[in-house]
């Protein structure tokens, strides 16, 4: 479950049809932009391109930020690889 509160995005995992409030995740503005673009259709390079366009950051920094967040979200069980080339297409 995702909620936007006071400019931040809150991710609340649902486990066994119950909200797991002990595992609440708070995303800053940059992480929220990445989260919103994880749809199973956009690859990590496309998500990084969005980050570059919105925040005017160098491509290498954007790709690293996307990869770091995807690793964290995957480790937390919040996203999984939807298929395709080497985890480039995560989905929520």
Q: Which domains does the chain have, with CATH numbers?
A: 2-91 (1.10.10)
pLDDT, tens only, 18-63: 555 567 788 888 999 999 999 888 899 999 999 999 999 999 999 9
Burial class for 83, CB neighbours closer than 10 Å (0-12, 13-18, 19+): exposed
Decide if pLDDT at 15 tops 90: no
What pLDDT is stored for residue 49 in this prediction?
Answer: 96
Closest CA to 62 of 40, 78, 44: 44
Give the separation between CA 64 and CA 45, rounded to whole angstroms. 10
Which secondary structure element, helix H or strand E, spans residue 2, and what is its range?
Answer: strand 2-5
Give the separation between CA 68 and CA 75, rounded to whole angstroms. 11
pTM above 0.85, yes or no: no
Decide if pLDDT at 67 tops 90: yes
């Amino acid at each position: 479950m995702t909620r936007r509160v006071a400019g931040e995005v809150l991710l609340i995992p649902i486990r066994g049809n119950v909200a797991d409030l002990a595992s609440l995740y708070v995303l800053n503005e940059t992480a929220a932009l990445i989260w919103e673009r994880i749809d199973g259709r956009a690859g990590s390079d496309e998500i990084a391109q969005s980050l570059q366009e919105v925040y005017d950051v160098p491509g290498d920094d954007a790709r690293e930020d996307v990869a770091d967040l995807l690793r964290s979200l995957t480790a937390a069980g919040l996203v999984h690889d939807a298929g395709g080339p080497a985890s480039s297409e995560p989905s929520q």
